[in-house]
Amino acid sequence: MTIKNTGLTLTNYSILEAESPFLPFYPTWYNTHEASLFKKANDIANVDSWLFKRFGVDESVLKQERVRKTSYREWVNTLNQTCLNVSKQLGPKELFRLNQEKTAFFYIDSWGETSTLENVNSWRDSLTIDILPKAIIKQFHIKDITSKIRGERNALLLGMLAAQDLMESTDYDNVIICGQYRAHPIHVFSELQTNKLATSKKQMTNNTQEVVERVCCLLFRKSAQQGINIKLDGYSLLADRPKERLKELKILLCEKVDEKQLIITHTPLSSHKILVEQLRKFTIENRKINLAAINQLYADSGCLNVASAIEYFSQQSDVYPQSKLWALDGQWGLWQLSLSKKVGRSSI
């Protein structure tokens, strides 16, 4: 699939993660379905343990249950904090200007309706979690398009694709994308079940998979003269066989990647990890290009891995003002994005 390559300008953003320490997941005898998914996920991801960093961990709960029984209130408050951070970055004058312009709002998550898993006891909180965060919409005075996008690992990318379509029109000046990734163990394990591409454990040395919950707020502005320019170049399905996949990506790397840095996000699949290491070896041996694997740097955050990649690029933009971003989804699809530092006289 070829995507119209006009691009988006990200002017302000905030990405926050859970501050709790990593907690191991313990399978339990009274939930045999979850324990079975855990065992299968270990085989598929080629690991023997999982560590979770989650919002709302209750220290008074039994240690084996802390990963499961977390409070939703902390991540809701942290999501509100990311939007407040973006407001502070703008300042009063530009925030007033933003409120007068036509702005669309997209709310993304991985799992859809999860208020039953969160043990929500308020219908207002259920609406915030399952539909739209009303407080954020009021904060930015959103009066135009509002929508929720559930797309598993592709949620943020689908939101950016929709944002690009809106920004191409003359009707909208800005797009705000807010999102959260909640790492319910049963969802994390079940996500891998449709990707039964396990490999021999002899091929991997790391036997622990880390998962981190994050929230984000991204502001894209049409009139901006500086920021991070993001172009969605295309989406394609890779070959089924490992050798053909690797060959296909090597050809893309040689013929299509002109940037000096390649950023990759992927799933916990062992086959994804092996593919990334093969590409790393190829870039070291054949090309002077820096390869950064976001999942190895920041752990896995599902649909917000791309947000972590954008933050990484922002930190490296003085050294690598242009980078290519490859995002592998769970069905061997490949998103290709171009990131560049947009410098000019600011209009905001």
pLDDT at 203: 52
What mean pLDDT value characterizes the chain? 91
From the number of C-beta atoms within 10 Å of its C-beta (0-12, 13-18, 19+), residue 254 rates as: exposed
pLDDT at 154 over 60: yes
pLDDT at 103 over 50: yes
pLDDT band at 275 (very low <50, low <70, confident <90, very high): very high
pLDDT band at 196 (very low <50, low <70, confident <90, very high): low
Q: What is the mean pLDDT of residues 210-214?
A: 98
Helix axes 242-255, 270-286, angle to 10 degrees: 40
| Alpha-carbon span 55 to 78, nearest angstrom | 9
Total-model pTM: 0.93
pLDDT band at 142 (very low <50, low <70, confident <90, very high): very high
User: What amino acid occupies position 130?
Assistant: D
Domains of the chain (ranges, CATH numbers): 8-221 (3.40.47.10), 227-342 (3.40.47.10)
Two tokens, residue 260:
């000096």
Q: Half-sphere exposure (CA, 13 Å, Cβ side) for 303? A: 29
